[in-house]
Structure 1
Amino acid sequence: MWMYLGLLAALFLGLHNLCKKHAVQGNEVFPVLLGTVSSGFLFVAAFYGLSIFYPDYALEHGYNFQKISWQIHGFIVIKSAIMASSWILAYQALKHLPITIVTPIRSAGPFFTFIGAILIYQEQPSPLQWIGFFLIIFSVMLYSKIGKKEGINFKRNKWIFAIIGATFLGASSGLYDKFLIQNLSLNPQTLQFWFCLYTILILLIILSITWFPHAEKRKAFKFRWSIIAVGILLQAADYFYFKALQDPDALIMLLSAIKRSQILIAVVVGGLVFKEQNKRKKLVPLAGIMIGVFLILYSN
């Protein structure tokens, strides 16, 4: 069951990435990020309010929010700091790079998660899983060659390093999620609510220095419907992902890989919507990544 929940998370993540590309095009990155997190928070907060005013109904329908200690709040703040850093780097890179380049690099995230799952959680990969992960990495390298044809030098372009950093931090957060869900027994909605709240506070501190004092930057910001869509779609994806992690049999290395199937939406549909270059050539490494994901899914 947890694998199917992972596929649902991948579906919403793919749609989330398309909306995110639309939201950041020609726009100020930090307020867009704040808007997306805030809209996602309001979405979850509606269920939080339901649990306060109609606790019996909320509990019956699975909307119960846990009371947690200050120590657990501290653990959630750490997750918020990790993901805020990852999102800032990712949004900046997405603003300056084609989505068909950004998304495949992000697809290398399972490799970092894979290593962490072995070292931290002692998850045991099979030979086919090894093949699948290295096939994903090779396919991402192939994307780098295609990217050079679009004027993107992977060794000198700072936005490439930004998206690689975002990918590493995102993978670290994925490993941390397993600790929060399984070791601390947090349910998805409790983690989502406090995580969004603390992330908003972190972003407000950053914006108070980099954006709010500058009138020209405030005027350059363009509100778009996709900002709200990004937040809601991300919360939907996170909910199914956290529900999958609640299963004690769930392997974080496999869940991370399953989530990468989102690139099918981002590369194929996104390439058509945003009219990016070399779409047909990108289908070759895309196929390699999908085969790698398939090997991981069905190796057992």
Structure 2
Amino acid sequence: MWMYLGLLSALFLGLHNLCKKHAVQGNEVFPVLLGTTIAGFMLLLPFYIGSLTSPEYMQKIGFYVANISWKVHGFIVIKSMIMASSWLLAYQALKHLPITIVTPIRSAGPFFTFIGAIFLYQESPNFLQWIGFFLIIFSVLLYSRVGKKEGINFKKNKWIFAIIGATFLGASSGLYDKFLIQYQDLAPQTLQFWFCWYTVLILLVILSITWFPNKEKRKAFKWRWTIPLVGVLLQTADYFYFKALQDPEALIMLLSAIKRSQILIAVLIGGIVFKEKNKRKKLVPLIGIMLGVALILYS
């Protein structure tokens, strides 16, 4: 069951990435990120209010936001700081790079998760899983050759380093999620609500320094309907992902790989919607990534 939940998460993540590309194109990145996070928080707020006023009913329908200790609050603050840093880097990179370049680089995230799962959680990969992960990494490297034809030098372009940093931080957060869900026994909605709350606070501090005082940047910001939709889609994807993680048999390394199937939506649909170049040439490494994911699932 947890694999199917992982595929549902991948579906909503793929749609989330398309909306995110539309939201940040030619726009101020920081307020877009704040808007998407607030939208996610507002989606979860009724569950928190309902948990205060009608706890029995919220427990019955499975959306009760539980009270947690200050220690667990601290754990969630750490996750918020990791993901806020990852998002800031990813949104900036997505603004300056084609989605068909950004998404495949982010697909290297399972490799970092894979290594962490071995050393931190003693998850044991088999031979086919090794092949699958290295096939994903090799396919991502093929994208660098395609990227150069779009004027993107992978060695000198700072946004490439930004998306690599975002990928590493995102993978770290994925490993941390297993600790929070399985070892701290947090329900998905409880983790999501407090995570959004602390992330909003962190972003408000950053924007109060970098964006709110700057009149020209405020005028440059364009509101788009995709901004709140990004937040809603992300929280939906995270809910299915965290539900999958609740299964004691779920392997974080495989879940991370399954989520990479979102690349189908980003490359195939995103390439058409945003009219990006070299779509056919990008299909070759895309097939490699999908074969890697298929090997992991098959194993």
Cα distance in 2 between the residues matched to 1:134 and 1:103: 17
Cα distance in 2 between the residues matched to 1:107 and 1:2: 20
Q: What code does the residue aligned with 1:81 have?
A: M
Aligned residues: 299
Q: What code does the residue aligned with 1:3 have?
A: M
Identity %: 80
* Unaligned ranges ≥5, structure 1: none
Counterparts of 1:49-198 in structure 2, within 5 Å, are 49-198=49-198
Cα distance in 1 between the residues matched to 2:232 and 2:253: 25
Structure 1 stretch 63-72 or stretch 152-161: which is displaced more? 63-72
Cα distance in 2 between the residues matched to 1:83 and 1:256: 16
Once the two structures are TM-superposed, the CA of residue 31 in structure 1 deviates from its matched residue by 0.2
Cα distance in 1 between the residues matched to 2:109 and 2:260: 8
User: 2:239 matched to 1:205?
Assistant: no
Q: What code does the residue aligned with 2:89 have?
A: L
For 1:12, the equivalent position in structure 2 comes to 12
Q: What code does the residue aligned with 2:200 have?
A: I
Once the two structures are TM-superposed, the CA of residue 56 in structure 1 deviates from its matched residue by 2.6
Once the two structures are TM-superposed, the CA of residue 53 in structure 1 deviates from its matched residue by 2.6
For 1:219, the equivalent position in structure 2 comes to 219
Query: 1:25-75: per-residue Cα shift (whole Å, max 9, x none)?
Result: 000000000000000000011222222233232111101111110000000
Q: What code does the residue aligned with 1:218 have?
A: R
Cα distance in 2 between the residues matched to 1:95 and 1:147: 15
Cα distance in 2 between the residues matched to 1:55 and 1:176: 28
User: 2:46 matched to 1:46?
Assistant: yes
Q: What code does the residue aligned with 1:171 have?
A: A
Cα distance in 1 between the residues matched to 2:165 and 2:79: 16
Q: What code does the residue aligned with 2:231 have?
A: G
Q: What code does the residue aligned with 1:98 have?
A: P
Cα distance in 1 between the residues matched to 2:117 and 2:55: 37
**SS of aligned partner of 1:297:** helix
Cα distance in 2 between the residues matched to 1:294 and 1:79: 30
In the superposition, the TM-score normalised over structure 2's length comes to 0.99
Cα distance in 1 between the residues matched to 2:84 and 2:65: 23
Q: What code does the residue aligned with 1:205 have?
A: V
Cα distance in 2 between the residues matched to 1:50 and 1:184: 23
Following TM superposition, the consecutive aligned residue runs of length 4 or more in structure 1 with deviations greater than 4 angstroms are none
Cα distance in 2 between the residues matched to 1:114 and 1:56: 39
Cα distance in 2 between the residues matched to 1:233 and 1:65: 20
Contact 2:51-2:66 within 8 A present in 1 as well: no
Query: 1:153-184: per-residue Cα shift (whole Å, max 9, x none)?
Result: 00000000000000000000000000000000
For 2:28, the equivalent position in structure 1 comes to 28
Counterparts of 1:210-289 in structure 2, within 5 Å, are 210-289=210-289
Once the two structures are TM-superposed, the CA of residue 298 in structure 1 deviates from its matched residue by 1.2
Cα distance in 2 between the residues matched to 1:63 and 1:168: 31
Q: What code does the residue aligned with 2:214 have?
A: H
Aligned alpha-carbon RMSD (Å): 0.6
Q: What code does the residue aligned with 1:233 have?
A: L
In the superposition, the TM-score normalised over structure 1's length comes to 0.99
Cα distance in 1 between the residues matched to 2:168 and 2:229: 25
